[in-house]
Amino acid sequence: MSNAYEVNFDGLVGPTHNYGGLSYGNVASQSNSQASSSPKEAAKQGLTKMKALMDLGFKQGVLAPQERPDVDALRSIGFTGSDAQVISRAAKEAMPLLVASCSASSMWTANACTVSPSADTADGRVHFTAANLNCKFHRSIEHPTTSRILAGMFVDPQHFAHHPALPAVAQFGDEGAANHTRFCKSYGEPGVEFFVFGRSAFDSRFPAPQNYPARQTLEASQAIARLHGLSDDAVVYAQQTPAVIDQGVFHNDVISVGNGEVLFYHQDAFLDSESVLAELAEKLARRGANFKPVCVPRDAVTVDDAVKSYLFNSQLLSRADGGMLLIVPEECRNNSNVWNYLQQLTNGNGPIREVKVFDLKQSMQNGGGPACLRLRVALKDTELQAVNQGVIMTPSLYDTLNVWVDKHYRDRLSENDLADPQLLVECRTALDELTQILKLGSVYSFQLA
Ligand code: SUG
């Protein structure tokens, strides 16, 4: 059998990274609203993580950012004139809409799409469904460009199938891989896909949160399983506990992470935990895999600790020796409950052997940790070879991207700067160069006009 790998495609932070306070229900986004940001530092923190994982021997890729401000989106809601006039009119009449059209939120590529590896799908291809991100305006405008970028990365229709985003209504609210985990014995073998939803749009028997929105619906997850040709005996659905959404767990990847045969999760993550775990164990056993749940008890780490530290928004990676490595944000070291727990965890006999800490503060202040910043794609050798090699991280691509960031990114950005029409010019100049660096072809609307 051919080799297979998990490849992490990290979002390169875009030149307009800012703190817009745009995500109701995401505590970090709300509490850092209007703080000034550093796009340059944000991009470099992300690149440092990509480089470190590449140096450790993991397969690493990069996913390009989007054109912002999104002038097309502003035009679609009635702002007219030249690009500069559209921006200045939006700034004068509806600043919150300009801020939304400037968000660099596509950096969180765990929300770009849901991916099913070829071993799981009926037609033996890798399937991608772009996420409609329907819950927030600033994110709902990502998927058309995301689809073009993914098509420029995973080109060969013999290996890759692309589905457009689900219908753009809240009933099919879909946030991509942030609510999807794939378990398997090894990456190239058939696995079990685990879909976690926040509410059902069509079945009132499922309880919903009281305060904050549940972004992912059961119906969206089921649609993706159908589109990808997944068999019922290889899919498990679970509902997130509504009360934890109300505490700021706006995606499942803020309260659990899985990889291989391991699920690392908080005691309060799922409704009916016992039956969910039993179904996972049973379906994985039928795939020849031995499910290993690692539960973090609420007595050790509270949901509030999890939301503040982003313990579960970590990357769980398989080392060559079979042990697992957890990539956590710096905020985990700053929380004594979490840090003590992690010491115990790695000193024990469980599957998670090692923890590495990264400074991702610029992204974290908008509620995006290590796991948000990456899209996982399990690929067989032949499929990896078919990926556009321009987006695979290498030491020289890392150097080129650092130089590119230094050349084009601002050190500081605050809300007033978003009204500067020069920012759009800077962004387009940078992205035009980037598509050449990454060999993506024309993916942005300014390139397609
Ligand atoms: O959708 N934050 C993102 C964070 C996404 C994190 N992704 C995962 N958990 N997978 C969101 O809420 C904030 C933007 C701002 O406020 O400027 C934002 O969009």
For residue 16, being part of any structural domain is answered with yes
Identify the domain containing residue 23 by its residue range.
4-68+103-240+363-447
Residues with a catalytic annotation lie at 175, 251, 372
* Dihedral Cα 192, 195, 201, 205, nearest 10 deg: 80
Count of the separate structural domains present in the chain: 1
Nearest atom of ligand 1 to the alpha carbon of 18? 17
Which residue has its alpha carbon closest to ligand 1 atom 1? 23
For residue 420, being part of any structural domain is answered with yes
| Predicted confidence (pLDDT) per residue in 290-343, tens digit | 999 999 999 999 999 999 999 999 999 999 999 999 999 999 999 999 999 999
For residue 34, being part of any structural domain is answered with yes
For residue 379, being part of any structural domain is answered with yes
3-state secondary structure at position 127: strand
**Mean pLDDT value across residues 55-75:** 98
**Mean pLDDT value across residues 52-56:** 98
Answer whether residue 13 shows pLDDT above 90: yes
% of the chain exceeding 70 in pLDDT: 100
Residue 405 has a pLDDT of 98
Q: Which helix (H) or strand (E) holds 281?
A: helix 273-286
Classify residue 368 by burial, with Cβ atoms within 10 Å: 0-12, 13-18, 19+: buried
Nearest atom of ligand 1 to the alpha carbon of 30? 16
Asked if residue 129 lies in contact with residue 113, where contact means CB atoms within 8 angstroms, the answer is: yes
**Mean pLDDT value across residues 172-192:** 98
| Predicted confidence (pLDDT) per residue in 221-234, tens digit | 999 999 999 999 99
Length of the chain: 449
For residue 425, being part of any structural domain is answered with yes
Answer whether residue 116 shows pLDDT above 60: yes
Asked if residue 324 lies in contact with residue 262, where contact means CB atoms within 8 angstroms, the answer is: yes
Best mutation site among 250, 256, 307 for ligand 1, i.e. most ligand atoms within 8 A of its Cβ? 250
Is the CB–ligand 1 distance for residue 20 below 6 Å?
yes
Answer whether residue 1 shows pLDDT above 70: no
Q: Which residues contact 254 (CB under 8 A, 6 or more apart)?
A: 248, 306, 307, 310, 312, 313
**Mean pLDDT value across residues 380-404:** 98
For residue 304, being part of any structural domain is answered with no
According to the annotation, is 20 in a ligand binding site?
Answer: yes
* Ligand 1 center to 10 CA (angstroms): 15
Q: How far apart are CA 269 and CA 295, in angstroms?
A: 10
For residue 126, being part of any structural domain is answered with yes
Asked if residue 183 lies in contact with residue 196, where contact means CB atoms within 8 angstroms, the answer is: no
Output the average pLDDT for the chain: 97
Is the CB–ligand 1 distance for residue 32 below 6 Å?
no
For residue 246, being part of any structural domain is answered with no
* 378: CATH: 3.75.10.20
